[in-house]
Amino acid sequence: MEMQPQQLGDRSPDKLAGVPLTPRRRVDSQEGRWREREQSIEGWHPVNARRNAKWWYSAFHNVTAMVGAGVLGLPYAMSELGWGAGVAVLLLSWVITLYTLWQMVEMHECVPGKRFDRYHELGQHAFGDRLGLWIVVPQQLVVEVGLNIVYMVTGGQSLRKFHDVVCDGRCKSIRLPYFIIIFASVHFVLSQLPNFHSISGVSLAAAVMSLCYSTIAWVASAEKGKTRTSQDVDYALRATTAPGKVFGFFGALGTVAFAYAGHNVVLEIQATIPSTPDTPSKKPMWKGVVVAYAIVAACYFPASLVGYWAFGNQVDENILVTLEKPKWLIAMANMMVVVHLVGSYQVYAMPVFDMIETVLVRKFGFRPGLTLRLVARSVYVAFTMFVAITFPFFSALLSFFGGFAFAPTTYFLPCIMWLTIYKPKPFSMSWFTNWICIVLGVLLMVLSPVGGLRQIILKAKTYHFYQ
């Protein structure tokens, strides 16, 4: 809700100096203070506070946003899809999501002189102010909050794996909730970093770690696979019953969708890049995206294919959990995962912080600053920590969130906005391409949450809270 000039009080310099104000001068003074306040709020926003990023910022921010917990679950998804369907789904997802990401980069400045710095702003331009807000914001929040919850779970699991590998049975066993709390404690501090620019160092470290631990995962899997015979590895689908195979297939689709979630923060990342008529932001942004997707391919495909080749349908939900030796390498890889998840959490949390603080400032009149940031962001981190401790179902969460919200925001919502804004000629190449993506994305959205929800229900039957 915009703050109107008449709501800002009456403390003009003229009145303070004892000079009587005419109605016209009073309105001008109030409007001036209102504009000044709006400019200060725009300069404070976590998303677009600074616009001095280079193309390589786009590259490592996108790598950090995309390569995360999802890559660790891809070999498990392969065990539910099989070789043929698994390779096809991985390739198709990479191509479709690169195309839709290009669309979002292009649409960032589809109106001359205006930048859509947030996903919901582009949605409002495409669908109308009210409808666009209701279409985009709930889905984007589910994606970003869901990712933060899953990263809490994965961060805790990786810390526990590191502890268990290093201790090698010599230490007292510690329950998963305590490791999630340890992981969350880092975010209570890092969440106070004010904007995207301030987390660039964390994001860069996270991007480097993602490439490192993905490489360790597939290289260690390859070494393990050399010592196994064909009798030790079974490539039949993980489930043995027909319903299990069907639901497992649906769940695996959600896991793959989860791995391509960078679209939910791409406009916010592009908002940090300067733009001029001669050099629009889409040029350096797209250059960074291409580099990021090359790194994504280098992480996803070897980890998925080699991990499944080495362990078959016996691979765990998290490929690093399956690996046991060499211990020092597995311990190091798990700590790399922790570092990466710290950065990924912050990249996805920043747009949420932007939404929360904007509502508190504009609608409820809170003053932007350290106090607001400290309270609002700490409450959010505590919320994601609590949910993660309560429902630590890693692969099921990947599948459910992957289909429920990731599929729309990544696979087909950009295509719908493209058709609405640019209106390509019916039955043209652009028209056909977008409708194919829409149909595949809708199928993914409908089918994959079913598999994830079934896994959650099955695991909930034997799960004891907070143990």
Pick the more confident residue, 181 or 39.
181
| pLDDT, tens digit (0-9, with 9 covering 90-100), for 148-207 | 888 898 889 889 888 888 887 788 888 888 999 999 999 999 999 887 778 888 888 988
Note whether 113 and 360 are within 8 A (CB). Answer: no
Residue 5 tokens, joined: 């000039």
| pLDDT, tens digit (0-9, with 9 covering 90-100), for 375-395 | 999 999 999 999 888 877 655
Q: What is the pLDDT of residue 370?
A: 84
* Percent of the chain at pLDDT exceeding 90: 21
Domains of the chain: 54-249+265-386 (1.10.4160.10)
Phi then psi for residue 54, to 5 deg, are -100, 175
Q: Is the confidence at residue 253, as pLDDT, over 70?
A: yes
Phi then psi for residue 386, to 5 deg, are -60, -45
DSSP codes, 263-290:
GGGHHHHHTTS---SSS-THHHHHHHHH
Amino acid at site 397: L
Long-range CB contacts for residues 241-248, cutoff 8 Å, separation at least 24: 245/80, 247/450, 247/451, 247/454, 247/455, 248/80, 248/451
Note whether 58 and 285 are within 8 A (CB). Answer: yes
Q: Is the confidence at residue 52, as pLDDT, over 80?
A: no
| pLDDT, tens digit (0-9, with 9 covering 90-100), for 260-285 | 777 878 888 888 888 888 888 899 99
Note whether 327 and 165 are within 8 A (CB). Answer: yes
Residue 132, exposed/middle/buried by CB under 10 A (0-12, 13-18, 19+)?
buried
Note whether 307 and 319 are within 8 A (CB). Answer: yes
Q: What is the pLDDT of residue 454?
A: 73
* Residue 305: closest CA among 462, 77, 130: 77
pLDDT band at 36 (very low <50, low <70, confident <90, very high): low
* Residue 62: closest CA among 290, 218, 303: 290
Q: Is the confidence at residue 50, as pLDDT, over 60?
A: yes
Apex 380 CA angle, 194 and 163, nearest 5? 95
Note whether 297 and 63 are within 8 A (CB). Answer: no
Q: What is the pLDDT of residue 186?
A: 94
Q: What is the pLDDT of residue 105?
A: 92
Q: What is the pLDDT of residue 33?
A: 57
Q: What is the largest CA-CA distance in the chain?
A: 94
Q: Angle formed by the axes of helices 413-422 and 119-127, to 10°? A: 50
DSSP structural state of residue 462 = H
Q: What is the pLDDT of residue 393?
A: 67
Pick the more confident residue, 21 or 221.
221
> What number of H helices and E strands is found in the chain?
19, 0
Q: What is the pLDDT of residue 359?
A: 86
Supply the mean pLDDT for the chain: 80
Cα atoms in the 13 Å half-sphere on the side-chain side of 347: 37
Q: What is the pLDDT of residue 400?
A: 67
What distance lies between CA 394 and its chain's CA centroid? Answer: 16
Pick the more confident residue, 259 or 385.
385
* SS3 of 67-108: CCHHHHHHHHHHHHHCHHHHHHHHHHHHHHHHHHHHHHHHHC
Provide Rg for the chain, Cα atoms.
24
Amino acid at site 401: F
pLDDT band at 310 (very low <50, low <70, confident <90, very high): confident
Residue 416 tokens, joined: 């719908």
Secondary element (H or E) of residue 444: helix 429-462
Note whether 287 and 62 are within 8 A (CB). Answer: no
Q: What is the pLDDT of residue 47?
A: 60
Q: What is the pLDDT of residue 264?
A: 79
Residue 222 tokens, joined: 């390859």
Apex 209 CA angle, 448 and 273, nearest 5? 80
pLDDT band at 100 (very low <50, low <70, confident <90, very high): very high
